[in-house]
Structure 1
Amino acid sequence: MPSQLPLDEALLLGLWLEAVAYGFFLCLFCGTIVLSFGRGRHRSDIHSKIMIGISSIMFFISTLHLVLGIYRLCQAFVAHAEAPGGISAYFANVMRWEDIAINVLYGTQEVLGNAAAVYRCYVLWSRDWRVIALPLMLLVGSLASGCTIIPPLATVDTPQTLPTDRSIKAFYSFAVAQNIITTGLMAFRIWRTSSESAKYYKMENTLLPIVRVLIESAALQLIVEVLTLGLYAGGLNAVLLPQGLVTPIVGITFNAIAIRIKLRMIRDSTTHSQVDPVQTIGSMPMKRITVETITEIDIGAGEAKAREGTT
Structure 2
Amino acid sequence: MADNSKFGIAEAQIVGLFMESVSYGMFLVTFGLCIRALLFERDRSFIPKRWADVRVGMLLVAISMFIFATFDVAFGLRHNLDAFIFYHGEGGAAKEFSDISYWVNIMKTVDYVMQTAIGDAILNYRCWMVYNKSWKIVLFPVLMWMAILVCGIMMVYVEVTTTSEALLTESRITPWLDSIAVLTLVINILVTSLIVWRIWRVRSKTVESSSHPNRLSHVIRIVLDSGLMYTLCAIIFFGTTLAGSNAQYGVSDVIVQVIGITFNMIIIRVNNGTASEGISWNTSALPQSYPLRFYNNTVDPTFTVRTEVGVEVEVSQIRDTDSRVVKSDGPWKGAPGVHWNSDNASDVTEQA
Q: TM-score range by the shorter chain?
A: 0.7 to 0.9
Match of 2:38 in 1: 36
Select 2:16's aligned residue among 11, 14, 17: 14
Select 2:189's aligned residue among 169, 173, 180: 180
Select 1:94's aligned residue among 91, 97, 100: 100
The alignment-based identity, stated in percent, is 23
Distance 1:43 1:210, change over 3 A: farther
In 2, Cα distance between the equivalents of 1:109 and 1:13? 21
| Contact 2:100–2:162, Cα closer than 8 Å, also in 1 | no
Match of 1:152 in 2: 158
Match of 1:216 in 2: 225
DSSP 3-state at the match of 1:148: helix
Larger displacement relative to structure 2 (163-172 or 56-65): 163-172
Q: Deviations over 1:153-197 (max 9, x none)?
A: 111221347622211111110000001111111111211111111
* Bigger fraction of residues in strand: 2
| Contact 1:152–1:162, Cα closer than 8 Å, also in 2 | no
Match of 1:23 in 2: 25
Matched AA of 1:199: E
Larger displacement relative to structure 2 (1-10 or 38-47): 38-47
Alignment of structure 1 residues 71-220 onto 2, 5 Å: 71-80=78-87, 82-160=88-166, 163-220=172-229
* Larger RCO (alpha carbons 8 Å, 6+ apart): 1
> Structure 1, unaligned stretches of length 5 or more?
286-311
Select 1:234's aligned residue among 240, 243, 251: 243
| Contact 1:153–1:162, Cα closer than 8 Å, also in 2 | no
| Contact 1:201–1:284, Cα closer than 8 Å, also in 2 | no
DSSP 3-state at the match of 2:136: coil
Matched AA of 2:119: G
1:270 shift after superposition: 10
RMSD: 2.5
| Contact 1:156–1:162, Cα closer than 8 Å, also in 2 | no
Match of 2:56 in 1: 49
In 2, Cα distance between the equivalents of 1:47 and 1:37? 6
1:242 shift after superposition: 1.2
1:204 shift after superposition: 4.2
Larger displacement relative to structure 2 (236-245 or 39-48): 39-48
Larger displacement relative to structure 2 (159-168 or 64-73): 159-168
DSSP 3-state at the match of 1:266: coil
1:232 shift after superposition: 1.0
Matched AA of 2:205: E
| Contact 1:36–1:43, Cα closer than 8 Å, also in 2 | no
Aligned length: 281
Match of 2:317 in 1: 279
| Contact 1:95–1:153, Cα closer than 8 Å, also in 2 | yes
DSSP 3-state at the match of 1:206: helix
| TM-score of the two chains, using structure 1 as the length reference | 0.83
* Bigger fraction of residues in helix: 1
1:66 equivalenced with 2:79 (yes/no)? no
| Contact 1:149–1:168, Cα closer than 8 Å, also in 2 | yes
| Contact 2:37–2:267, Cα closer than 8 Å, also in 1 | no
1:124 shift after superposition: 1.8
Select 1:258's aligned residue among 267, 273, 298: 267
| Contact 2:31–2:62, Cα closer than 8 Å, also in 1 | yes
DSSP 3-state at the match of 1:52: helix
Distance 1:27 1:267, change over 3 A: farther
Distance 1:216 1:43, change over 3 A: farther
Structure number with bigger Rg:
1
1:118 shift after superposition: 0.6
| Contact 2:68–2:115, Cα closer than 8 Å, also in 1 | yes
| TM-score of the two chains, using structure 2 as the length reference | 0.74
DSSP 3-state at the match of 1:279: strand
In 2, Cα distance between the equivalents of 1:178 and 1:92? 31
In 1, Cα distance between the equivalents of 2:261 and 2:272? 16
Larger displacement relative to structure 2 (263-272 or 49-58): 263-272
1:241 shift after superposition: 2.1
